[in-house]
Structure 1
């Protein structure tokens, strides 16, 4: 999962980036409204944490532009403003949730996970595909109840595939959603990660759909025609 943080406070933006990375997310940071709008308008983020009081372009204006351009990623507004009129303006602009500074990091992460779950059509942070379990809250995966040791990129890829289980996902889409902007994004490395995951979770859980991409499945589920 790839998250955009638009926050002009350097200490807070660093804190959020570190916290999100520790939870297994790929993270990009923008420190002003112009950069934030550009990234959100041109990159395929799974979610956005957006401050309202930004230099150059304020958060409400950014959000209005994104929604006008049919950018549908879930957006959590994070701001020091606590007046009800500011909250209404944020929701009317297209925000999905709202958190006022100062905040507890556990609450921010819980709200973000909830937004990502709803956007993907899930009701909990734990996704089960047969006896494979992916816990997005703990950033861990299990097979037959046994924990699997995964690198951060392996977990990101597995979590993204689990979130979209049963759907064919192209290598390009995987690259766009598991790497941050500064990473040397080479789609050929996806094959390496797929190979590693197959060794760790079982070769029959990830199907190759020739010419299209990969699909995470339950190999023991009844096959449909």
Structure 2
């Protein structure tokens, strides 16, 4: 054994046992341990790098492409919708009434369906000052062909049945505008029944048909059959 190696061996034997064990590690073992440590550090660094937070970029939005216009085959015509402003149906026809008596502008007026006596008076310019309108139902609904007389005495009104004194009959009597005196002149109708007819007309806002005369108290089938050709709504 060389002298140098012998001296190192002798010096190591004099050291404590724990120190001899630490110094007994060979260089190859130290190198292997170093390689393992380097590999462990590299693996830990890779895991840390891959787990770091990253910035995420949202994808850009793209507008949808415009739809291509529909192609109509040759010889075919596109269906057209209903014309603009076309209504579902015509409204109710207007009514024509004759407004007379003590009004500013008497005459025949064309009014919307469902108009009332007050509307007719306004169309005639209103009632003259000082005219007695007692008994005039301004809220009554008018019917087509009706005559409205304002402030006319009973002696000046048309006779029952629409006849003019000394002249031929003018036609059926209007249930919507006839007075108690006019109704009293009808066959089989007295003052009491005439008042019932006027009260019924006031409560219902007028007669819409002659058939409603059946609902008046005191008018049976026989009397209605006699009055039917003599009156109109």
TM-score of Structure 1 vs Structure 2, range by shorter chain: under 0.3
Higher normalized contact order (CA 8 Å, seq sep 6+, divided by chain length):
1
Question: Which structure's residues are more often strand, by fraction?
Answer: 1
TM-score (norm 1): 0.24
TM-score (norm 2): 0.23
Give the structure with higher Rg (CA): 2
